[in-house]
Amino acid sequence: MSLEAALGQLIWARADPPDLEPGSALEHLIAEGLCGGVTVFDVPARALREATARWQAMASSTLFIAIDNERGPGQQLRGMLHFPPLMALAAADSPELCHEHGRLTALHSRSCGVNLVFAPVLDVYSLPSNPIVGARSLGCDPERVAELGVAVAQGLQAGGVLACGKHFPGHGDTAADSHISLPEVTAAKDVLEKRELVPFRAAAAARIDAMMTAHVAYRDLDGGRPATVSKTIVGGLLREELGFDGLVITDALCMGGVGELGETEAALQALQAGCDVLLLPSDVRGLHRDLCTALANGRLEAQTIEASLARLEAARSRLQPAIDEAPDPGDFAMQLALQARTLVRPGSLYPLPAENPPVVLLLSEAGRTGAPDGGASFGRAMAEAYPGCKLFPLRDSSLPAAALETARQGPCVVALFSRVGAYKGSAGLLPELQAALADLPSSQQLWCIFGPPSLTALAPADAAVLLAYGSDGASQIALAEALLRGEECLGVCPV
């Protein structure tokens, strides 16, 4: 295979539900050898299994089929179970649960033909207002993030997929979302060494398969250059100082963090910096053409491409085939949710008195950053335990007058479902809802938060607060049971 033809192996395309159809534009890219991998987003599990079998049959080399399943198989595979997020693992403080989280995620992903999972997140929770990390992180203790992150990675690898730590050299101390713009970290290098770099150093020592770079500038490492295109950071810090010889994958080239460079320029500089995989360009065919031009005019050197191809082949040799079925993960998800649930503040209403049915306000953001089921699991559990309770599912910026009036008359459970998300900004509560809740008697409120710990600041100072870190069904049921039965909350908030 010529170097021009092999350049396609360095480009990984995106697959959304329409791309799973036979004869899609993606299939033409695969058949023509213009991409060496595919990253799938929010697709039906069964359809993906059928599609990956077709894709592998038409590819000249085994395709890397990658997925963002940080929160378990249900995150991107419709019809599969959502797990509590990584911060729940930190609250449970169990390397064994971390390993099992990774292993089960791997097995269920493999049952759909996936062979690489973009996890674990190794970013330290350095800045609570961070708009893109939140409960994706394993906490604020670098050494603990390192230990638990390596356990997740080893679980993924034990389950038969490649693991990819992210986002090197750390996205936890950023006030901006790199999907939108280029964040800047101003911390001194010695601070980064003691904090951000600790988990990545541990993952490199444990021989994790891959690392994903951050579209973040680190002033004390390489001025204002995004890490993805920095030879100092990728080639020097990651490759040489940390001794990492696995795959280095860029974060998505279509993101705003490298937007000022343009996708082709970002891709060229990323390869020159030491990256191997160019993730999710908006125009795969155009990028392949531009890379061929750069190779022909000497802007891109043959030895750079050959080194990346060698690392890709080494990783490809470890890829495992799809499997027919995976074990039921329900018991694991429930065990993790029960061990992670955290009592932040008891208040006078915890546990809820059995004789006084509460009003339950289900505040779930519309779309994928709210609860997968809109809070229905929590609502059902409350309705079954308190036949007279009144449920108000709310997904907009206002509380109906009837809800407010009813909430003033007795105990009020505020169930908040929110998390960080790409292009969204920080998790939170719309100002209109905050103002409406401020009119309710604070001592009669009990807050159940399904999201990052930063959301606990929204609750009144004298209200009881319970925290579940994620909005998956198991976490909802775990908090409901704590309210109803007064069961002990064993989790310890890791921030």
For 271-297, write each residue's pLDDT tens digit: 999 999 999 999 999 999 999 999 999
Specify the CATH number for 341-485; select among 3.50.40.10, 3.30.300.30, 3.40.50.1000, 3.40.50.1700. 3.40.50.1700
Global pTM exceeds 0.85:
yes
Q: Is 179 known to be catalytic? A: yes
Specify the CATH number for 3-316; select among 3.40.50.360, 3.30.1490.190, 3.40.640.10, 3.20.20.300. 3.20.20.300
Beta partners for 363? Answer: 394, 416
Over residues 90-99, the pLDDT tens digits come to: 999 999 999 9
Residues 6+ apart with CB under 8 A from 177: 131, 132, 183, 422, 423, 424, 425
Catalytic residue among 167, 179, 215, 288: 179
Which of 36-40, 89-93, 384-388 has the lowest average pLDDT?
A: 384-388
Catalytic residue among 251, 276, 290, 472: 251
Q: How are beta strands 77-78 and 11-15 bridged, if at all?
A: unpaired
Please report, for the chain, the start and end positions of each structural domain, with discontinuous segments joined by +: 3-316, 341-485
- Tell whether the model's pLDDT for residue 369 goes beyond 60: no
Q: Is 167 known to be catalytic? A: no
Cα separation, 308 vs 265, whole angstroms: 18
Please check whether residue 312 is in contact with residue 271, taking contact to mean a CB–CB distance below 8 angstroms: no
Confidence tier at 396 by pLDDT (50, 70, 90): low
Burial bucket for residue 354 (CB in 10 Å: 0-12, 13-18, 19+): exposed
SS3 at position 218: strand
Q: Residue 385: what pLDDT?
A: 86
Among residues of the chain, what percentage have pLDDT more than 90?
A: 77
Residues 6+ apart with CB under 8 A from 485: 351
